[in-house]
């Protein structure tokens, strides 16, 4: 997970530019929710999905998977309410707690959800279907106490101490300060305290360390990076420059799994032997996955 650096003012400006009048219609719905004390009716958040898709460089906010771009891309993304709009269901259930060997204590957000944030654009990210539907669902694990602060997000955060990281914004801890990578595996960056717990809960909650599609993608990434680290040291100056261009690109926010790439490249700079050990693990994972596929070479049999 990486930070999506945008100020609240910039975010609302982007929304107004994309869908003029949306903010006013959203505010009207929030006033209705305040009167009725719950979320009712149809949501209009899908209309602004494109703003978040572009801001997030067409990647899932939570797992950093790359997703589609262009006119047919919408279908891949869900607009996810960080604080659920109409109810909060407890996490983890007994099966999940056992499976993930969870030993920490978790509380849960307001049981009736956060209807005043249903149309708050600062409560949205776009995510892949896996992160949103089966995993995030209506859960909202916290370390504090459920708050009735309504639409005051700063007070809600102070009261509730959310355990999931929220990547959009330019204040507070960046997700990468809290979650780093040991090779392909995400791990908490801090040794102890609330920030370590937030990292561990976020990793467990979205199963960032377990999902095959994420582990495979990171293994491919590490192999690609290692090959370019080697190429950057040998061959013609043009070949070396091409390899360096790829290494620079891999550090950018637009790159899939950029957090993993940055952690690996930083490790290589400080401890190349350890980076090589992670590369070899990744290479073995890749080669074991579908042995036939990688032995066949470039041309698939027809």
Closest separation between CB of residue 60 and Zn ion, Å? 3
Listed residue (164, 200, 152) closest to 81, CA to CA: 164
Question: Among 25-33, 52-60, 147-155, 213-221, which window interacts with Zn ion (CB under 5 A)?
Answer: 52-60
- Report CA-CA distances (Å) from 256 to 2, 60, 74, 112, 251: 10, 9, 18, 35, 10
Token output for 143: 């370390």
Torsion of CA 251, 252, 258, 264, to 10 degrees: 10
- Residue 48 vs 63, nearer CB to Zn ion: 63
Closest separation between CB of residue 277 and Zn ion, Å? 28
Residue from 131, 164, 203, 250 touching Zn ion (CB under 5 A): that is 131
Question: Among 10-18, 24-32, 61-69, 293-301, which window interacts with Zn ion (CB under 5 A)?
Answer: 61-69
Closest separation between CB of residue 300 and Zn ion, Å? 28
- Residue 63 vs 217, nearer CB to Zn ion: 63
- Report CA-CA distances (Å) from 237 to 172, 227, 233, 240, 265: 42, 16, 9, 5, 21
The count of chain residues that interact with Zn ion, using the rule CB under 5 A, is 5
Closest separation between CB of residue 251 and Zn ion, Å? 21
Question: Among 55-63, 95-103, 110-118, 233-241, which window interacts with Zn ion (CB under 5 A)?
Answer: 55-63
Residue from 6, 26, 60, 163 touching Zn ion (CB under 5 A): that is 60
Closest separation between CB of residue 203 and Zn ion, Å? 13
Closest separation between CB of residue 31 and Zn ion, Å? 33
Question: Among 129-137, 243-251, 268-276, 281-289, which window interacts with Zn ion (CB under 5 A)?
Answer: 129-137
- Report CA-CA distances (Å) from 84 to 75, 269, 287, 292: 21, 41, 41, 44
Q: Are 80 and 124 in contact (CB under 8 A)?
A: yes
Question: Among 19-27, 59-67, 111-119, 161-169, which window interacts with Zn ion (CB under 5 A)?
Answer: 59-67
- What part of residues 62-91 is at the interface with Zn ion (CB under 5 A)? 62-63
Binding status of residue 53 toward Zn ion by CB under 5 A = no
Closest separation between CB of residue 64 and Zn ion, Å? 7
Q: Are 126 and 167 in contact (CB under 8 A)?
A: no
Residue from 4, 14, 126, 128 touching Zn ion (CB under 5 A): that is 128
Beta bridge partners of residue 126, listed in sequence order: 79
Burial code of 247-272, b = ≥16 C-beta within 10 A, e = fewer?
beebeebebbbbbbbbbbbebbeeee
Closest separation between CB of residue 103 and Zn ion, Å? 25
Q: Are 143 and 197 in contact (CB under 8 A)?
A: yes
Listed residue (14, 80, 21) closest to 50, CA to CA: 14
HSE of 67, CA atoms in CB hemisphere, 13 A: 29
Question: Among 32-40, 124-132, 181-189, 270-278, which window interacts with Zn ion (CB under 5 A)?
Answer: 124-132
- Residue 7 vs 133, nearer CB to Zn ion: 133
Binding site for Zn ion (CB under 5 A): 60, 62-63, 128, 131
């Amino acid at each position: 997970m990486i930070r999506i650096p945008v100020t609240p003012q910039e975010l609302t400006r982007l929304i107004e530019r994309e869908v003029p009048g949306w903010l006013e219609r959203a505010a009207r719905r929030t006033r209705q929710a305040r009167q009725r004390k719950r979320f009712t009716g149809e949501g209009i958040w899908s209309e602004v999905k494109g703003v978040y898709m572009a801001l997030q460089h067409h990647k899932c906010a939570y797992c950093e998977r790359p997703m589609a771009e262009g006119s047919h891309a919408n279908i891949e993304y869900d607009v996810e309410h960080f604080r659920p709009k109409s109810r909060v269901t407890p996490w983890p259930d007994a099966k999940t707690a056992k499976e993930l060997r969870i030993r920490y204590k978790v509380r849960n957000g307001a049981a009736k959800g956060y209807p005043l944030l249903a149309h708050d654009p600062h409560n949205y990210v776009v995510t892949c279907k896996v992160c949103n539907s089966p995993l995030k669902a209506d859960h909202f694990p916290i370390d504090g106490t459920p708050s009735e602060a309504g639409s005051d997000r700063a007070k809600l955060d102070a009261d509730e101490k959310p355990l999931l990281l929220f990547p959009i914004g330019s204040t507070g801890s960046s997700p990468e300060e809290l979650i780093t990578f040991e090779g392909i595996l995400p791990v908490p960056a801090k040794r102890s305290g609330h920030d370590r717990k937030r990292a561990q809960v976020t990793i467990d909650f979205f199963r960032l360390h377990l999902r095959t599609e994420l582990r495979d993608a990171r293994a491919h990434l590490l192999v690609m990076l290692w090959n370019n680290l080697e190429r950057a040291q040998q061959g013609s100056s043009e070949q070396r420059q091409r390899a360096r261009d790829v290494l620079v690109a891999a550090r950018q926010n637009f790159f899939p799994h950029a957090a993993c790439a940055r952690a690996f490249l930083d490790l290589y700079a400080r401890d190349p032997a350890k980076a090589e050990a992670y590369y070899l693990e990744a290479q073995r994972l890749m080669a074991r996955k579908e042995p036939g596929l990688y032995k066949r070479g470039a041309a698939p049999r027809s």
